[in-house]
Structure 1
Amino acid sequence: MISASLTLQEQHLNSLRELLLTTDGKERAAYVLCGKAVINTDPWDGQPHQKFISYEVIPVPEDEIVSFSVKHITWKTDSFVRALQVAQAKNLTVAVFHSHPEGLGEFSIQDDTNEADLIQLAQNRNGSGTQILSVILTPDGNLIGRIWVSSQEVIALRMIRVIGEKIRLHYPNRGLGISPPAFQRQALAFGKALNQDLSMLRVGVVGCGGTGSAIAMLLPKMGFRNIALFDKDIVEDTNLNRLHGARQLDADAISPKVEVVAKSLVELGLGVQVRTYQAWIGEADCRDPLKACDVIFCCTDDHTGRLMLNRFAYYYATPIFDMGLAIEVSQGETPNFQALDGRVTVLAPAPGHTCLLCREVINPVAARDEALKRSNPDEYERRKAEAYVIGEGNPSPAVVLFTTEVAIMAMQELVHRLQGFRGEDGTAAHRVRKFHLTTDRKPAAIPNPNCPVCGTAGAQWWGRGDVMPFLNLVE
């Protein structure tokens, strides 16, 4: 049996609140067209999963409402058929949202009857494989959802995520879980719900070097249970000083970083399920695990991988916490720091979340050269010799004190977006910590309107999920 979940862009939920939670206290309805991520095998439970992503909100016209009250709403199906037409043309799925003004947190018998008719209509028009989602919005902001596979088969959504300035999770019995003894004192600081939220999330770590291994070691200690690690490299002598969990024996054995870090996480005894992928993040085998993640930490210095994840965040409405550390020192026996900057950038389809291209974090020329090196190493070496590619220079400085603190910065940003401990204005889409100056800065950036990712030109792809080719990238 499949499982299913829904990701709502925060801007879409705000629109739905305006449409559905009206001052007259009567039920209202609206449609949401959704993209979809098909996950053939979930890395943690081994089952197929469908992740739907909000793409566009469509109101039910007032003149099509037949009757409504605090307990029901009935409307003509004309607008539903129009939504089905658009969904079929664009390979989207229709979700039907309606309010329960009195706060009923479950579907009513009338909902069951009406929605069974709607799925029958949908399948008669768009084909027998057509599905529709149904979601209730209550005045206190709770969301309850399900997916209709047929008029006889309906499946409760495993989770509904709201992604934007904040990250809000909705799932059965949220807040009623009991924190394990290891996390009870954390619950005293943040409340029980955060511990439960973290245990429910599926999280990916791309790059298991100094920053990525630090993030990975924090995850079980914060209460995350489902972790995926992505890195194709091995442990070397030169990274033992900052690679958490690695030993000299691992460097001698030429052990994969993902396996070394995974072993350290499991040995903590905190009940984690770790899945490892010793591969470059752009390889096809990484797509299902990436799509299965609710949150991703990007800790790679690979421009090509960053370029792909930069698009992924917007197509799949998956928050990506991208990290970097820039160290520049003067020449001399005792170097002086000219730059010592840790950075955390949050990528998401939300206002203010400018992509890595527009922030000039990604170097497209370096990305091109990395792709060439991967696909045609001989041609890469030839062009490098002729100075047509950047090539590899001297290694960059790296210090465990600062790679670890950048990881902590990213974890704090995620926790704030889930729990809000910094207050209403505490989020930062882009934070730069200048360690040598002991200052934090939040540099603003305006998206290029023509940016294919975060600009007006790219907005048509926010929430589209699976498209061919993957992320509209040339393969």
Structure 2
Amino acid sequence: MILQTHFRITDTHLDDLKRHLFPGDGLEASAIALTSCNKINDQIIFLVQDILLVPHSECIRKVDYLTWPGKYIEEAIEKGEGKNLSLFLIHSHPSNLNQFSIADDESDQKVIPCIFAAYNQLHGSVIVTPEGKLTGRFYDKNLSPQYIDKFLIVGQNIELVARQSSSNVMPFSADMTQSLKNFKVGVIGASGTGSIVIENLARLGVGHLVLIDDDVIEHKNLNRILNSTIQDAENQKSKVKVLADAINQYRSDVVLTILDSKIGTQPAIFEAATCDVLFSCVDTVSARMYVDLVGEHFLLPIFDIGVTIPTGSKDGKPFITEVCARLDYIQPHRSSLKDREVYTPDSLRAEYLKDTSPDIYEKQLQEGYFKGVHEEAPSVISLNMLAASYCINEFIARTFLFRQENNSNYARTVICLGANETEYFKEDDFTSVSRTNVGKGITTPLLGMPNLGGVK
């Protein structure tokens, strides 16, 4: 069976590669990537954990020819074997040729068998052009090659390079719609904000949507979940099924995967791991923790949305102090939602009351959008739409690059309608202290969480 294959790398690793591979002398250069190899359903996902730069002086380097020094192959094998990592031989094509040459084929036939002789894992090779374009293939133990279908470069910008896809796509154009067909996007949470994000992504032309939510439609949320009906509420139809059915009414070319489950389950985590981008539209801190961990382990960019209406009290009567929407863009190797205190150990413990003290938890849950005031069916669709719109445009800005400033200036956006202010935070405004599992992929236990157990 031919599997779909992904190769993911952070912008920092790619920048290191490009500086080393293109020193300015017009000659080929080399490096070795150590990647975790993750087999999930019908997909193989290679996640770059480390890069070994091969010194220029250790190779015979020409404009269109390169030799691989055995010393560095052995060093890579020593580093990779203990963790069963896949090794990828990476070299530059200064001529800008974005395909493997006959010399490349001959080189792989000599070097790749030596790696397989050391340990059995999938290994391969990758070409990098001066423009940063990537082409790659991997081999099985029979030295049968298969090309990598998608390269995902994750950082301040998001670059998805699918085989034979076009580059330099104009934002908001028909070409952008065509380019988005290559994306598999996961949306966790299909309620007020999530349904609007899903509607945007579907109508923009995303090729594969994964919808994850374990809840059903109720009468109380008909005023803010798009495409929901009275009949859906009476039948307690699942939110993801309602939204998928609606999309099928206007898209015949979309692949839809729906999971009527929480994100903190093995099936949902594995499905999210196969996406290219994740949108977090959840209303619990534990769900945000799981999304955070999925992004870190599987090298995925995350857009997380939160809306709230804090209240005060005067003369025994509540009043609104502010109307807020928050958008965070999270990179797997930089500050996390935990680092930014979107969730904390204290908030996770408080939420744990759901299991130990349900009465107390229910009181907290009922506060919902209005902090301090119970509202069964708040009229917040306009706020949800505002937050969702900012989120989708942020995704487009990082994928199709229309901003006049660097995207690093927009790690967080906070919109305060009461004060009529919008505040932006840079990535440098946050400190990353919790990233210890970048690119590890499938672990035992999954995501390092004992409750998720081992992987079968």
Tell me what 1:277 maps to: 259
Structure 2 CA distance for partners of 1:372 and 1:34, relative to 1, 3 Å: farther
2: CA distance, partners of 1:122 / 1:275: 37
**Residues 1:144 and 2:135 are matched in the alignment:** yes
Q: Structure 2 counterpart of 1:165, which letter?
A: Q
**Residues 1:97 and 2:74 are matched in the alignment:** no
- Which of 49, 67, 84 aligns to 1:55? It is 49
Tell me what 1:174 maps to: 165
- The alignment partner of 1:74 has SS state of coil
1: CA distance, partners of 2:179 / 2:81: 35
**Residues 1:463 and 2:450 are matched in the alignment:** no
After TM superposition, list the pairs within 5 Å mapping 1:12-51 onto structure 2.
Answer: 12-40=13-41, 48-51=42-45
- Which of 423, 437, 443 aligns to 2:404? It is 423
* Shift, 1:261, TM fit: 1.1
After TM superposition, list the pairs within 5 Å mapping 1:152-167 onto structure 2.
Answer: 152-167=143-158
Structure 2 CA distance for partners of 1:307 and 1:330, relative to 1, 3 Å: same
* Shift, 1:367, TM fit: 2.4
Q: Structure 1 counterpart of 2:129, which letter?
A: T
Q: Structure 2 counterpart of 1:237, which letter?
A: H
Structure 2 CA distance for partners of 1:372 and 1:94, relative to 1, 3 Å: farther
Q: Is the 8 A contact 1:159 1:171 kept in 2?
A: yes
Q: Write the deviation string for residues 333-390 of structure 1: whole angstroms up to 9, x where unpaired.
A: 997531211111111134xx421222221143342354463xxx4x434xx56x9x98
Mark the runs of 5 or more structure 2 residues left unpaired by the alignment: 371-377, 452-456
Deviates further, 160-169 or 321-330? 321-330
After TM superposition, list the pairs within 5 Å mapping 1:234-313 onto structure 2.
Answer: 234-313=216-295
TM norm structure 1:
0.87
2: CA distance, partners of 1:60 / 1:193: 39
Structure 2 CA distance for partners of 1:344 and 1:270, relative to 1, 3 Å: farther
2: CA distance, partners of 1:212 / 1:26: 49
* Shift, 1:91, TM fit: 2.8
Structure 1 ranges of 4+ moved more than 6 A: 332-335, 445-449
Q: Write the deviation string for residues 413-451 of structure 1: whole angstroms up to 9, x where unpaired.
A: 1101111111242451111111223321124577887xx
Q: Write the deviation string for residues 386-416 of structure 1: whole angstroms up to 9, x where unpaired.
A: x9x9854434344000111111111111101
Q: Write the deviation string for residues 19-66 of structure 1: whole angstroms up to 9, x where unpaired.
A: 1012110000001111233212xxxxxxx111111111111133421x
TM norm structure 2:
0.90
Mark the runs of 5 or more structure 1 residues left unpaired by the alignment: 41-47, 178-186
Q: Write the deviation string for residues 79-113 of structure 1: whole angstroms up to 9, x where unpaired.
A: 11110111111232111110011111110111111
Tell me what 1:474 maps to: 450
2: CA distance, partners of 1:217 / 1:281: 20
**Residues 1:394 and 2:367 are matched in the alignment:** yes
* Shift, 1:463, TM fit: 1.3
1: CA distance, partners of 2:324 / 2:113: 57
2: CA distance, partners of 1:188 / 1:59: 35
Q: Is the 8 A contact 1:314 1:347 kept in 2?
A: no
Q: Is the 8 A contact 2:37 2:122 kept in 1?
A: no
Tell me what 1:71 maps to: 64
- The alignment partner of 2:90 has SS state of strand
After TM superposition, list the pairs within 5 Å mapping 1:280-429 onto structure 2.
Answer: 280-331=262-313, 336-350=319-333, 353-371=334-352, 373=354, 377=355, 379-381=356-358, 391-397=364-370, 398=378, 399-427=380-408, 428-429=410-411
* Shift, 1:271, TM fit: 2.2
- The alignment partner of 1:200 has SS state of coil
**Aligned pair count?**
440
2: CA distance, partners of 1:104 / 1:151: 27
* Shift, 1:194, TM fit: 2.6
1: CA distance, partners of 2:404 / 2:320: 33
After TM superposition, list the pairs within 5 Å mapping 1:443-454 onto structure 2.
Answer: 443=425, 454=432
* Shift, 1:117, TM fit: 2.1
Structure 2 CA distance for partners of 1:57 and 1:71, relative to 1, 3 Å: same
